[in-house]
Structure 1
Amino acid sequence: MNAVWRVVVIAFGLIVAAGAGLVFLVSALASADFGEAGPEIIAQFALFAWLFTFFSAEQGLDPVSMLGLLIASLIIVPVAMPGALVAILAEAFGWRSLTLHMAANAALGALAAAAAGFYDLLALDQTTAAVAPVESRAVLVMAATGGVVGFVYWLVAGRNASGFLNRQITSSTRDADASGR
């Protein structure tokens, strides 16, 4: 029963953390302090969403449901997925560190931004600046969003990580395994 309760707490913590991260991400993109990167990211997303919807409608799929699926997946990948990955590892190994939760989520958030095409990691063309200001701001916002997700998850569920992979085998468990029960 204790394990079931822990799974409920983990799921609730992930939902609350993903919601907080989404609120932070939207407010950061809409902020005037973010500069021109916010509208550029929104324009790139809108163009991609329009093309995705157009081609799905051309193949006979419902464009509204496909657009909803696209928006949901683009929210889940950069906001919820890094938090879930860190939460699973932290629960498995019993890691309770606030620094670990925030740093790992920030790194995975920046990696999600890089994978989404906001940032050119290789900078193959050496004639231009290696990092454009818009791209670096986008990666910083995604890293900050990951930090917010990690902090909120740690507040809700991470402080009591169970560490089920690190538990010592007790004599009763060892005896039950040896007898084949």
Structure 2
Amino acid sequence: MLRWLLLIPFACLVAMGAGLFFLTAASVASPAVALLIGGGIERLLDILFGLAESGVDPTPAAQAAFALIARLGLAIIVAPVVLVAVGSELFGLRSLLVQSGLTGLLAALLPLAMLRLSRTPSPAELQIISGLFLVGAATGFIYWLIAGREAGGDRRPADPVSR
């Protein structure tokens, strides 16, 4: 029970923090990811300041933009690691490949599902998707290092000699 109350939330929080670091690293390594993160924020600020300069209240636009950013952050960083952590604990999945791979897959697919991408992605979008997969896989790896190796508790039968 202590594992569910302390270790798993701690491991998820550390993995999420690492996910933000890895997302920053991906934006340095990939121009497409950098454009998504940096360019999107720059354009958002230009729009909001442009609205304010023209006398239009930017509050509704800012609230909508920040809500979208929060949902994307949830879909990229928070939801994948939490879903895989809970699933690995419930089903006793201890494999690094399973935890890291599923977290990466969810980190790449959840934003696509949220944005309803219903066409074939462009090469730049494929680069972003693969960057998000790597961010999710690295996040899943950090979770596995802290708590995942012992997922589901000890499943080995007790040694009859030690009784």
TM-score interval (norm. to shorter) = 0.7 to 0.9
CA deviation map 1:66-103 (0-9, x unaligned): 87666444323211110000000111111111111011
Distance in structure 2 (CA, Å) of the matches to 1:50 and 1:115: 28
- Counting only pairs closer than 5 Å after superposition, residues 76-155 of structure 1 correspond to structure 2 as 76-117=74-115, 120=117, 122-123=118-119, 130-155=120-145
Q: How many residues align?
A: 149
Distance in structure 2 (CA, Å) of the matches to 1:96 and 1:51: 47
- Counting only pairs closer than 5 Å after superposition, residues 1-181 of structure 1 correspond to structure 2 as 3-31=1-29, 34-47=30-43, 57-58=59-60, 71-117=69-115, 120=117, 122-123=118-119, 130-162=120-152
The alpha carbon displacement at 1:9 in A equals: 0.1
Distance in structure 1 (CA, Å) of the matches to 2:31 and 2:87: 36
The alpha carbon displacement at 1:133 in A equals: 1.6
Secondary structure of 2:121's aligned partner: coil
Report the AA paired with residue 121 of structure 2. V
Distance in structure 2 (CA, Å) of the matches to 1:52 and 1:94: 48
User: Which has the larger Rg?
Assistant: 1
RMSD of aligned C-alpha atoms? 3.4
The alpha carbon displacement at 1:50 in A equals: 7.4
CA deviation map 1:124-174 (0-9, x unaligned): xxxxxx43221001000110011001100000001111269x9xxxxxxxx
The residue number in structure 2 matching 1:178 is: none
Distance in structure 1 (CA, Å) of the matches to 2:48 and 2:141: 34
Distance in structure 1 (CA, Å) of the matches to 2:46 and 2:64: 11
Report the AA paired with residue 12 of structure 2. L
- The percent of aligned pairs where both chains have the same amino acid is 29
Call closer, same or farther: CA 1:52–1:78 in 2, change over 3 Å: farther
CA deviation map 1:87-120 (0-9, x unaligned): 0011111111111101101110110232354x94
CA contact (8 A) 1:110 1:139 kept: yes
Distance in structure 2 (CA, Å) of the matches to 1:111 and 1:105: 10
- The normalised TM-score by structure 2 is 0.73
The alpha carbon displacement at 1:49 in A equals: 7.4
Distance in structure 2 (CA, Å) of the matches to 1:116 and 1:45: 19
- The normalised TM-score by structure 1 is 0.67
